[in-house]
Amino acid sequence: MDKTTIIIVAATLAAVVVITAVVWIYLKKKQSERLHSRFGPEYDRLAEVEGDRGRAEKTLHEREKRVEKLKLVPLSPEDRYRFDGAWQQVQAGFVDDPRSAVANADRLVAEVMETRGYPMGGFEQRVADISVDHSSVVTNYRVAHDIALRDRGGETGTEELRTALLHYRMLFEDLLEMPVAEPEKPKATAAGS
């Protein structure tokens, strides 16, 4: 081979390496953006816990693969109605017994998850599973569950329990895939009616 051919081959190989690197970086960036968009705060939390975005992204990708294999189903209208009624009872019970209401909210959320097809493993596995399709409320679940656990040890007050119930409600509504009906407020009547 003459010198010109060697230079052309070397330049071509260098160009291929550079183009491959640019494409790889671009695809990696797009995947990171997709995962961040899909998982939101859970992406950031996991990156902080893992100490490395690459490991966090690998974990999130594994979560996606795991959830793809689950046989998740939407709730039937009957189940939605039944769960909505159960939620209304949980909320109404808060006034008389906040601790029981929060414990019941935790159980009801788990029941909805199970009915939808989520495996009922440990809490962290449940959080990982719902983070795939319900990332906007995973933080709510963590906060509510933490308060519920601390409450079992008698370490919470009514305001924290109210916060837990609100967080459970956000997760509950997201799992139902429809807003839970608010109780109707009495309509104001004109004076003298």
Can you tell me whether residue 62 is helix, strand or coil? helix
The answer to whether residue 86 scores a pLDDT higher than 80 is yes
d(CA 149, CA 156): 9
d(CA 56, CA 177): 27
**In the prediction, which pLDDT does 189 show?**
44
The answer to whether residue 27 scores a pLDDT higher than 90 is no
**In the prediction, which pLDDT does 112 show?**
96
- Written as six digits, the tokens of 136 are 């906007």
Reported as a pLDDT band with limits 50, 70 and 90, residue 103 is: very high
190 or 134: whose pLDDT is higher? 134
In this structure, are residues 86 and 78 in contact, taking their beta carbons and an 8 Å threshold? Answer: no
User: Considering only CA atoms, which of 155, 118, 142 is closest in space to residue 42?
Assistant: 142
In this structure, are residues 109 and 175 in contact, taking their beta carbons and an 8 Å threshold? Answer: yes
162 or 186: whose pLDDT is higher? 162
**In the prediction, which pLDDT does 183 show?**
44
Q: What rounded mean pLDDT belongs to the chain?
A: 87
Whether the model pTM is above 0.85: no
**In the prediction, which pLDDT does 155 show?**
87
d(CA 17, CA 11): 10
